[in-house]
Amino acid sequence: MLSLLPLSTLLLVTQALASPLTGTESKPLPLLIWHGLGDNYAADGLHSVGDLANETNPGTYVYYIRLDEDAGSDRSATFLGNVTEQIAQVCNDIAEHDVLSQAPGLNALGFSQGGQFLRGLIERCGDRVNIKNLVTFGSQHNGIAKYQICKDGDWICKGYIGLLKANTWGAWVQGHLVPAQYFKTTNETTGEPTDEYLEASNFLADINNERKLKNVTYAKNLAALDNFVMYIFEDDTTVIPKESGWFAYTNITTEHVTPLRERDIYKEDWIGLKKLDEKGGLHFKTTEGGHMNLGDKVLKDVFKTYFSPAKASWNGVFESVQEIIEL
């Protein structure tokens, strides 16, 4: 026999469906964009991505993460700086921002190293910065095994890489040269990280919770995402290994790839990826071309699929209705 809801419950459901947060007039969440190595927050190419986000989801407030208001200094900070301190600065900037601090949530888009920096921001600053969806392109979530990250003709980058190769695990290099802080060495027989990496890594070993003492807050914060979408570039020869963008381990000698779901970081859920996966929020994507060879079609699909205000708001409505019915 069909059971009818009480009139009071029907009224609550009607109010939820009529909420101003629903429908086509919903305002999209602000979008954070963190650029990659050798780029700067004021670059035309980066702003064209923000323009496309606004074209796809009108009314999107775009914030281009920067470490200095001077574009040249911001570019220099992609090579030279302490990543731990940089993330703390970005956390404060967002938490104190007039618009971003008042938003009900944020979306985030990370290009290359900007992707793992945004992930680090979520893990370390989740109590102050409420990111709902994270999309990364060509990022180095499991680190890099080779310093092959400079564009042709970028002599500044090549100069820094020369310093990196000379003393990757030295205290000065780990505290000042950015790519060294997501460089990773492993035992190729066992796939386990080396002792020197675990002891000296300023950034990656910490946010991947690879040391014996685990930070449970990191796992809690990352698992709280609605979606974590990881794109790798099919023909990427800049990020070595490219599968790092999916948290996979690649043996550089044999080229054997161990997928994330077969690794301890997932099986023991060191950073919340398993929990996120179990609720359908972890996505592995591939796109054509070399590193950061990215077209509008792929970006538009990301903006429509993961950053759409209509999708976010309707999901919230149905959750509210379900809660009301269960009362």
- The percent of residues in the chain predicted with pLDDT above 90, rounded, is 76
Known catalytic residue at 112: yes
pLDDT of residue 322: 42
306: phi > 0 → left, psi -120 to 50 → alpha, else beta; which? alpha
pLDDT of residue 10 exceeding 50, the answer is no
Mean pLDDT of 65-71: 98
Place of tokens 């993961």: 306
- Residues 231, 243: Cα–Cα separation, whole Å: 10
Q: Which is catalytic among the residues 291, 308, 313, 320?
A: 291
pLDDT of residue 6: 54
pLDDT of residue 20 exceeding 90, the answer is no
pLDDT of residue 258: 95
Backbone angles phi, psi at 279, to 5 degrees: -95, 10
Known catalytic residue at 308: no
Domain edges within the chain: 55-326
Under the banding of pLDDT at 50, 70 and 90, the label for residue 325 is: very low
Q: Which is catalytic among the residues 26, 39, 74, 112?
A: 112
Contact 227, 283 (CB under 8 A): yes
Q: Which is catalytic among the residues 39, 74, 206, 236?
A: 236
Contact 238, 291 (CB under 8 A): yes
Nearest CA-CA partner of 136 in 298, 274, 308, 264: 298
pLDDT of residue 164 exceeding 80, the answer is no
> What is the overall mean pLDDT for the chain?
88
pLDDT of residue 206: 98
Interval 193-248: pLDDT, tens = 999 999 999 999 999 999 999 999 999 999 999 999 999 999 999 999 999 999 99
Under the banding of pLDDT at 50, 70 and 90, the label for residue 151 is: low
- Residues 250, 253: Cα–Cα separation, whole Å: 9
- What is the CATH superfamily name and number for domain 55-326? Alpha/Beta hydrolase fold, catalytic domain (3.40.50.1820)
Known catalytic residue at 74: no
